[in-house]
C-alpha cells in the first residue's frame, strides 16, 4: 500500500524558473531528500522552498500519498541531485520548468507503466496530433486502443493490487490518453479508462472518408445513454454497478447484429471491431451463466427472427448455437437458465 504522509496545504510554486531543462524547484516550505525512494528511508537533507535540484531521470515504481487539506494527492519519488548530493524526493513537492503538470504526468506514467509506456504515449500524441483521413484514423485508433489495453493490464497486475483503497486518487489518469474517460468502478482495485465515443465521433466527422464515421455511429448505437464504453451496452439491463442481465427478446440483439452487418459491408476498414462487437452480442445470447430479463416467449421469438434474418456477420457456428439454444427456453429451469427476472419470479 502506498505510504501516506500528512503535510500542510502549502503546495506553492517558486516565482522564477531556472533555465536548465532538468532543473527542479522545491515548491513546498520544507521537503526532505532521502537516500532511497520512500518516506521511511533515511533523510539526507532538509530542503527549503526555492532550492534548485537536477532531475536525474529515475522514478520510483510506487507512489506515496499526501493529505493536503481534505484531499489526497499521490506522486512518485524522483531521483535528483542537490549540489553534489544525490537522493530521492517526493515528486509532488517539486515544480518543473515549463509545463509542470505534464512533467508530473510523465513521472506518474513512468511509475505505473515504465519508460516504454511513457514513450509510446508521447509518440502517439506526436504522431497522431491530427487524424486527417479515415486511413490515419484507423492506424491511430488501433494504436491507442492497444496502448490503453496494455496500460490497464499492467495496472491490474501491479503488486499493490490488493492494497489499493477506494479513496486513493488516480484522477490524474484522466489526462493520460485523449478520448478516454477515467472511471473507478465500485469494487475495482484500480480505475479504468473507457473510450468516449462522442469524442472520437467528432474526430471522425472532421476526417476525410465515411468509414470511421460508420464505426463510431455503431458504437454510439451500442451505448446510446452517454456514448461511453462500458460493460452495459444497449442489449443488457443493468442491475447494479457490476451486474446485468440480458435483454434478449427486446429486439436489441437482432438490431445490433443487422447494424454490424451493414457496417461491415459499407465500411470494411474496421473488421476487427465489428467481429469483437458481434462476439459480445453472441456471448450475451449463448453465455452459459447468462440470465434474462424477459419471458421465454419473447426470447424465443427474437432468436427465431435472427435465424430468419441470418445477418451476414454471423457464421455457421453462431447460427448453430442459436438453433441449439432455442429449445432450451421451452423448459429453461431444466437447463439452469433464469428468465423473466423483471417480474421477480
Q: Find the range with the poorest average confidence among 73-77, 117-121, 155-159.
A: 155-159
Say what angle helices 252-266 and 271-286 make with each other, to 10 degrees: 160
Q: DSSP characters for 57-75? A: EEEEEEEEEEEETTEEEEE
CB 308 within 8 A of CB 273: no
Average pLDDT, the chain: 90
> Which stretches within 157-207 are classed as H helix?
197-206
Return the pLDDT at 166.
Answer: 46
pLDDT, average across residues 158-169? 54
Q: How many CA atoms lie within 13 A of 194 on its CB side?
A: 18
157 pLDDT band, cuts 50/70/90, is confident
At 283, list the grid cell.
456471448
Query: DSSP secondary-structure letter at 12?
Result: P
Domain ranges within the chain, ordered by starting residue? 4-98, 113-226, 231-345
Pick the CATH number of 4-98 from 3.40.50.300, 2.30.30.40, 1.20.58.1910, 3.40.50.720: 2.30.30.40
Return the pLDDT at 168.
Answer: 63
CA–CA dist 69, 91 (Å, integer)? 18
pLDDT, average across residues 239-245? 92
CB 144 within 8 A of CB 177: yes
Return the pLDDT at 55.
Answer: 96
Q: Which helix (H) or strand (E) holds 253?
A: helix 252-266
Return the pLDDT at 160.
Answer: 58
Percent of all residues in the chain with a pLDDT value above 70, rounded to a whole number? 91
Return the pLDDT at 167.
Answer: 52
Return the pLDDT at 21.
Answer: 72
CA–CA dist 105, 143 (Å, integer)? 20
Return the pLDDT at 16.
Answer: 41
Q: Find the range with the poorest average confidence among 164-168, 245-249, 268-272.
A: 164-168
Return the pLDDT at 65.
Answer: 83
pLDDT, average across residues 60-64? 90
Pick 226 or 288 by higher pLDDT.
226
Strand pairing class (180-183; 192-195) = antiparallel
13 pLDDT band, cuts 50/70/90, is very low
Q: Find the range with the poorest average confidence among 80-84, 111-115, 181-185.
A: 181-185
344 pLDDT band, cuts 50/70/90, is confident
CB 37 within 8 A of CB 60: yes
164 pLDDT band, cuts 50/70/90, is very low
What is the b/e burial string over 180-217, where b = at least 16 CB atoms within 10 angstroms of the residue's CB? bbbebeeeebbbbbbbbbbbbbebbeebebebbbbbbb
pTM, two decimals, is 0.87
At 123, list the grid cell.
509518440
CA–CA dist 298, 45 (Å, integer)? 73
Return the pLDDT at 73.
Answer: 76
CB 198 within 8 A of CB 220: yes
pLDDT, average across residues 70-81? 88
Return the pLDDT at 130.
Answer: 94
CA–CA dist 162, 118 (Å, integer)? 25
3-state secondary structure of 263: helix
* 165 has pLDDT over 80: no
12 pLDDT band, cuts 50/70/90, is very low
Read off φ and ψ for residue 100, nearest 5 degrees. Answer: -65, -35
pLDDT, average across residues 59-69? 84
Amino acid at each position: 500500500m502506498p505510504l501516506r504522509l500528512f503535510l500542510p496545504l502549502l503546495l506553492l510554486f517558486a516565482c522564477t524558473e531556472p533555465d536548465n531543462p532538468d532543473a527542479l524547484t522545491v515548491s513546498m516550505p520544507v521537503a526532505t531528500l532521502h537516500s532511497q525512494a520512500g518516506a521511511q528511508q533515511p533523510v539526507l537533507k532538509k530542503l527549503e522552498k526555492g532550492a534548485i535540484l537536477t532531475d536525474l531521470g529515475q522514478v520510483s515504481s510506487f507512489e506515496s500519498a499526501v493529505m493536503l487539506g481534505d484531499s489526497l494527492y499521490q506522486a512518485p519519488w524522483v531521483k535528483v541531485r542537490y549540489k553534489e548530493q544525490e537522493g530521492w524526493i517526493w515528486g509532488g513537492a517539486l515544480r518543473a520548468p515549463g509545463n509542470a503538470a505534464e512533467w508530473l504526468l510523465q513521472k506518474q506514467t513512468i511509475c505505473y507503466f515504465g519508460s516504454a509506456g511513457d514513450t509510446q504515449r508521447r509518440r502517439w500524441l506526436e504522431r497522431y496530433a491530427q487524424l486527417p483521413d479515415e486511413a490515419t484514423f484507423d492506424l491511430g485508433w488501433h494504436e491507442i486502443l492497444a496502448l490503453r489495453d496494455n496500460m490497464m493490464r499492467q495496472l491490474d497486475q501491479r503488486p499493490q493490487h490488493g492494497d489499493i483503497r477506494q479513496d486513493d486518487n488516480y484522477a490524474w489518469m484522466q489526462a493520460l490518453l485523449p478520448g478516454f474517460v477515467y472511471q473507478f468502478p465500485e469494487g475495482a482495485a484500480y480505475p479504468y479508462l473507457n473510450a468516449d465515443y462522442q469524442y472520437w465521433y467528432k474526430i471522425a466527422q472532421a476526417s476525410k472518408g465515411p468509414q470511421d464515421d460508420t464505426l463510431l455511429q455503431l458504437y454510439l448505437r451500442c451505448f446510446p445513454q452517454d456514448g461511453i464504453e462500458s460493460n452495459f451496452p444497449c442489449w443488457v439491463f443493468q442491475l447494479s454497478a457490476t451486474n446485468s442481465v440480458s435483454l434478449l427478446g427486446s429486439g436489441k440483439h437482432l438490431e445490433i447484429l443487422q447494424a454490424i452487418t451493414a457496417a461491415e459491408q459499407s465500411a470494411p476498414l474496421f473488421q476487427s471491431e465489428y467481429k469483437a462487437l458481434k462476439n459480445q452480442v453472441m456471448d450475451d445470447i449463448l453465455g452459459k451463466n447468462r440470465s434474462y430479463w424477459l419471458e421465454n416467449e419473447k426470447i424465443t421469438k427474437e432468436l427465431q427472427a435472427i435465424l430468419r434474418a441470418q445477418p451476414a456477420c454471423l457464421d455457421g457456428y453462431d447460427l448453430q448455437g442459436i438453433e441449439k439454444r432455442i429449445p432450451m427456453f421451452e423448459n429453461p429451469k431444466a437447463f439452469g437458465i433464469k428468465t423473466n427476472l423483471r417480474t421477480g419470479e
